[in-house]
Amino acid sequence: MSFIDENFLLETKTAQQLYHGHVQNMPIIDYHCHLSPEAIANDRKFDNLTQIWLEGDHYKWRAMRTNGIPERYCTGDADDFEKFEKWAETVPYTMRNPLYHWTHLELKRYFGVNKILKPETAREIYETCSALLQTDAYSVRNILLKMNVAVVCTTDDPVDTLEHHQKIKADNFAVQVLPAFRADKAMAIEDQTGFLSYLQKLEQASGISIGSFRQLLGALEQRHNFFHANGCRLSDHGLETMYAAAYTDTEIEDILQKALQKKPLNQQEVLQFKSAMLVHLALLDHAKGWTQQFHLGALRNNNTRMMRELGADTGFDSIGDFDVARPLSRFMDRLDNSNQLAKTILYNLNPAQNELYATMIGNFNDGSTPGKIQYGSAWWFLDQKDGMEKQLNALSNMGLLSRFVGMLTDSRSFMSFPRHEYFRRILCNLLGNDVEQGELPASEMEWLGQMVENISYYNAKSYFNF
């Protein structure tokens, strides 16, 4: 068996039938990612393979550091080919890490390269792919078309002008590129200097002076309305855990006034403020029919020295072990109690909590929308074969896999779309094995085919109203 052949990860004839007969060529809805809207608006062309593959990719940087590669070749001043050589040197050591599969899927799907990346092949692969990247066929927009992408939802701050999204829409680009509203900085009152600086930006963007909590909410609502007018239908939050402390309006006003006066806050006050902000943002989402997403469980910026040198999102985060069940339940119950709980997707990073999340969604599915509360796809450190299978199994055992809205890239790289193929192959293999082991009926192949099509594309299309 050759590596990454047509039946890669498909262990049975039934799995092969499901994949090749139903989902192999389906469009992609990437409803959560961190792609640059500016790069799409300007139809960027990358000069070489390093730029499209290694810029901003903390997955690769983390692997390279582990392999003993100095920082100069990760985020430093080494030239592009030197950086690529060090990545090629690292790739053989990534066997059994998902990076090994992703790397070779991406070389094959984007560039038709079937060779294994290693030091001996580095120069040839670099030159072949870099030459293609300099052609019009490999501009960012054409890459999206080449990968059969139908919808991309980026991740955007409320103060963003959305000028790049507006340009993309005005150009009548065939791929929908929509913003998503991520107001984490408006909640980060624990970092008082950063918080106050952010409020100034929010004032400028909204035209509303922020001297009270009511005015802060008004400014965020103004931006929420602006995002909605520009096609936004999803929000997102990146949190350690859900915040659901008890509070009164008076307490929240007092907390904000202390922050505006640069007075220190205690931990309980920070939790109360974050809790109030989450509720009010959730109410905005519900009023407009948006879907809210919560990425929970990352312990971020563990390495203080590297945080000082490189900043956030550079490869020094890990899985956390925060208290989850009670605050998550309290938050969702508060909104559900007044029938103001929006469609919600919960993503967890700690695999020990898979079943916790898979059962939590069932508490608040109310029959109003199929799969209204979703247990989101395997995320970040769990975005690999074992992690995906465990997420799919937990969801299957505790809920309805058939109503799942499927995969996303959560990526900053335009090279990441084969992760959808990876997911689809794993999904089809899981179901195919069940059929061949007699755990699902072989007589229901028509339904199983529809099921994998729904999970791969149609469920998301319907759920988000794309």
Q: Return phi, psi of residue 203, to 5°.
A: -60, -45
Express each pLDDT in 234-271 by its tens digit.
999 999 999 999 999 999 999 999 999 999 999 999 99
User: What's the rounded Cα separation, in Å, for the pair 2 and 8?
Assistant: 9
- Measured from the Cβ of residue 248, the count of other Cβ atoms closer than 10 Å reads 10
Query: How big is the chain, counted in residues?
Result: 466
Burial class for 341, CB neighbours closer than 10 Å (0-12, 13-18, 19+): buried
Give me the pLDDT at residue 2, please. 79
Q: How far is CA 391 from CA 73, 343, 402, in A?
A: 35, 20, 13
Q: Pick the closest to residue 415 from 24, 26, 25, 48 (CA basis).
A: 48
Cβ-count burial of 15 within 10 angstroms (0-12 exposed, 13-18 middle, 19+ buried)? buried
Report how far residue 272's alpha carbon sits from residue 244's, in angstroms, rounded to the nearest whole number: 8
Coarse DSSP helix, strand, coil percentages of the chain, rounded to the nearest 5 percent: 55, 10, 35
What are the structural domains of the chain? 13-46+139-463 (3.20.20.140), 47-138 (1.10.2020.10)
Q: Using DSSP bridges, classify how beta strands 298-299 and 318-319 pair: parallel, antiparallel or unpaired.
A: antiparallel
Q: What residues in the chain have per-residue pLDDT under 70?
A: 1
CB 235 within 8 A of CB 277: no
Q: Work out the number of other CB atoms within 10 angstroms of the CB of residue 254.
A: 14
Q: What is the pLDDT of residue 275?
A: 98
